[in-house]
Amino acid sequence: MSDLGGVLAAEPFIRWDWVRDHTDDIRSNFWEHVQLTVLAVGIGFVIALAMALVAVRWRAAYGPLAAFCAALYAVPSVALFALLLPFVGLSMENALIALVTYTLLILLRNIVAGLDGVPPEVREAADGMGYERWRRVLRVDLPLATPSIVAGLRIATVTTIGLVTVTALVGEGGFGRFINEGLSRQFPTEIVLGSVLSVALAIACDVLFVLAERLLVPWARAKVPIEVGKPGRLTFARWSRHGRTVDA
Amino acid sequence: MTTAAAPVDTAAGDVAIRLEHLTKTYPGATRPAVDGLELAIPRGELVALVGPSGCGKTTTLKMINRLVEPTGGTVWVEGVDIRTRPTHELRRGIGYVIQQAGLFPHRTVGDNIATVPKLLGWDGHRVSARVDELADLLRLDRGLLGRYPSALSGGQQQRVGVARALAADPPVLLMDEPYSAVDPIVRAQLQDELLRLQREVHKTIVFVTHDIDEAIKLANRIAILNVGGILEQVDSPAAMLRAPRNDFVADFLGDDRGIKRLSLMTVGEASLSKGPVVDESASVDEARATMAELGYDWVAVCDGDDSLQGWVGAADLDGAATIAELTPRPFLSVVTPDTTLKAALDGVVTSRTRVAVAVDDDGRYLGMLTVNDLAEGITT
């Protein structure tokens, strides 16, 4: 590391000519980064939604499911990649499995919180009108849980975009490839480029989610209740303040 | 336990809902919430279930649309044992209105009203025509149909809740304390609207409330329940106020039962006194004679068409020859045949002349109500 320090002092932070010569790499790493993120969050969402529906139907299942996801969440990412090596080798599967496991806790908690937040009188009215159970969940409960679900997706996506860079260790990585190479070649331009692009992607995705939420939740545009203990913008604020701990 | 969908005995008349030995004991409870309730609800009537907290009135209501499953007994709706029908089908045929309206916040007012027709698979044209029809029936501005419920006042939300419950034209409507969350002024308006609506649609309505005045105002029949779902008395409001069966019912009706009965009767139903009244062409001596005869120190004045002009006091007569020379003072409380006797009583006790003067819709004098006349109304 002292070597790296010396090099970093001698080298400029960024060499624009190098960046210009590697636009093809930037493009391919960008797509890889997006692909890994979308797949990981997408698969994680499907699994978390299934778990949430089970948890809402059979309340007793929620504790064990959440504990399971929390345990996965607590495994250090570098260790998880290594642990998966004997089973899936250096592969996209390895990266994806690890990334998906880190989305589950956040998504599960937000989906369940959203479903729990459906006003009881609305649920009772829906039952009284003659909705079948599954139809009510689909047409009433899930739409009303959307703000909380989107909040969960935002956190999961931003987290995943950061974690994707670490998957460079197992031969994937998106923008993480720049960082990995930069570290091994002691070339600051790549480290800076990989980091900045990764952060920029995270911010862009976050903004996209805000816009998507406005489209998905037109009824709540006028009033955005921010209450302690309820999911919403606060969830992200809390999460980021405490690093990798999730708002309960 | 009967499971066949046999028609209930119809000899008892036109019964829309029959509760037969209906019992509910919640898991873990030592006493039943509703215990062997027997109640027949005639078609087209509004029956209020009234009682203190814990009397099982809401539980009873929810057993009719199976939001609560009975632990014993049977509910017959339109002659069918409700257990023989799939729950969601049963509920689509029963309107349901709840306290906070329970509108779907993510759907527009129009889509909220369209809920049950859409569940029943009506085509789009029929649904939107029905939504417009209901908006008119409930006097909701059609401009509100595209808004979300959060943009509506509490009273408007409650109207939408009623429209939604009526959307598929169910014969039976269940209303669970629908007006208890709105302010008293709006509540009174909504109650008046429900009475108007009921005159148009003639639904069988089961109405749960803890407010006995609301029940007296709205119901054809009141069922008073005691803690544990014990039915104490079922009767028309007037009959119940006149003859409460026991102390519990009497206490629940309150210590102003007589006054409450006055709210059920109108001036048109009461016998009016003629009162001290003279034509404006009368002489002062005639007016004095009328006052003396009836023991008043004032006299009402009518013109040639019997149209009420006001009143003059004994002291006003000094120095005049005929009533026409004087300017009568207006009566403070003038009532019409539609006015309730309770409102008339208010006029009697707050006016200086201690009477409420009744005129018809064209302002023609009909007679007067005194405290004695009102007392007569209560005791007969």
Give the model confidence (pLDDT) of B259-268 as tens digits: 888 888 888 8
The mean predicted confidence, pLDDT, of chain B is: 89
Q: Taking CB atoms and an 8 Å cutoff, what residues of chain B touch A220?
A: 105, 150
User: What is residue A22's predicted lDDT score, i.e. its pLDDT?
Assistant: 85
* B361 vs B136: which has the higher pLDDT: B136
Nearest-10 crossing angle of helices A92-116, A142-164:
150
CA atoms within 13 A on the CB side of B295: 1
Average pLDDT over residues B302-313: 87
Sign of the CA dihedral with A215 first, then A221, A224, and A230 last: negative
Sign of the CA dihedral with B361 first, then B362, B368, and B370 last: positive
Give the model confidence (pLDDT) of B60-95 as tens digits: 999 999 999 999 999 999 999 999 999 999 999 999
With 0-12 / 13-18 / 19 or more C-beta atoms within 10 angstroms meaning exposed / middle / buried, residue A30 is middle
* A234 vs B357: which has the higher pLDDT: B357
In B, residues 149-168, which contact A (CB 8 Å cutoff)? 149-151, 161, 164
Q: What are phi and psi of B262, to 5 degrees?
A: -60, -30
Which pTM value belongs to this model?
0.78
**CA-based nearest distance B168→chain A, Å:** 10
In B, residues 170-199, which contact A (CB 8 Å cutoff)? 174
DSSP secondary structure letter of residue B364 = B
Contact A114, A150 (CB under 8 A): no
**Partners of residue B310 on adjacent β-strands:** B301
* A134 vs B6: which has the higher pLDDT: A134
Q: Taking CB atoms and an 8 Å cutoff, what residues of chain B touch A127?
A: 67, 91
Nearby residues of B89 by Cβ (< 8 Å), 6 or more positions away: A130
Q: d(Cα A112, Cα A46) in Å, to the nearest integer?
A: 13
Residue B7: band (very low, low, confident or very high) from pLDDT cuts 50, 70, 90: very low
Sign of the CA dihedral with B74 first, then B76, B79, and B81 last: negative
Contact A110, A52 (CB under 8 A): no
Probe site for chain A from B61, B63, B68, B88 (most A CB atoms < 10 A)? B88
pLDDT tens for the 248 residues of chain A, in order: 456 666 666 778 888 888 888 888 889 999 999 999 999 999 999 999 999 999 988 989 999 999 999 998 988 888 888 888 888 878 888 889 989 999 999 999 999 999 999 999 999 999 999 999 999 999 999 999 999 999 999 999 999 999 999 888 888 888 988 898 888 888 888 999 999 999 999 999 999 999 999 888 888 764 443 333 334 443 333 333 333 333 33
3-state secondary structure of B346: helix
Partner A contacted by B66 (CB < 8 A): no
Cβ contact, residue pair A131, B119, below 8 Å: yes
Residue B206: band (very low, low, confident or very high) from pLDDT cuts 50, 70, 90: very high
- Amino acid found at B136: D
Give the model confidence (pLDDT) of B22-51 as tens digits: 999 999 988 999 999 999 999 999 999 999
CA diameter of chain A = 73
CA atoms within 13 A on the CB side of B303: 9
User: What is residue B33's predicted lDDT score, i.e. its pLDDT?
Assistant: 93
User: What is residue B89's predicted lDDT score, i.e. its pLDDT?
Assistant: 94
Tokens 């809402």 -> residue = A56
User: What is residue A13's predicted lDDT score, i.e. its pLDDT?
Assistant: 83
Average pLDDT over residues B132-153: 92
Identify the H or E element spanning B118.
helix B115-119
Q: d(Cα B23, Cα B67) in Å, to the nearest integer?
A: 14
Percent of the residues in chain B that have a pLDDT greater than 70, as a whole number: 96
Probe site for chain B from A121, A129, A131, A137 (most B CB atoms < 10 A)? A129
**What is the DSSP code string of A138-196?**
IIIIHHHHHHHHHHHHHHHHHHHHHHHGGGGGGT--TTHHHHHHHHHHT-HHHHHHHHH
Q: Taking CB atoms and an 8 Å cutoff, what residues of chain A touch B102?
A: 119, 121-122, 124-125, 128
Closest CA to A35 of A95, A102, A109, A110: A95
**Partners of residue B72 on adjacent β-strands:** B23
In A, residues 206-225, which contact B (CB 8 Å cutoff)? 217-220, 222-223
User: What is residue A226's predicted lDDT score, i.e. its pLDDT?
Assistant: 36
* B379 vs A12: which has the higher pLDDT: A12
**What is the DSSP code string of A92-151?**
HHHHHHHHHHHHHHHHHHHHHHHHHTS-HHHHHHHHHHT--HHHHIIIIIHHHHHHHHHH
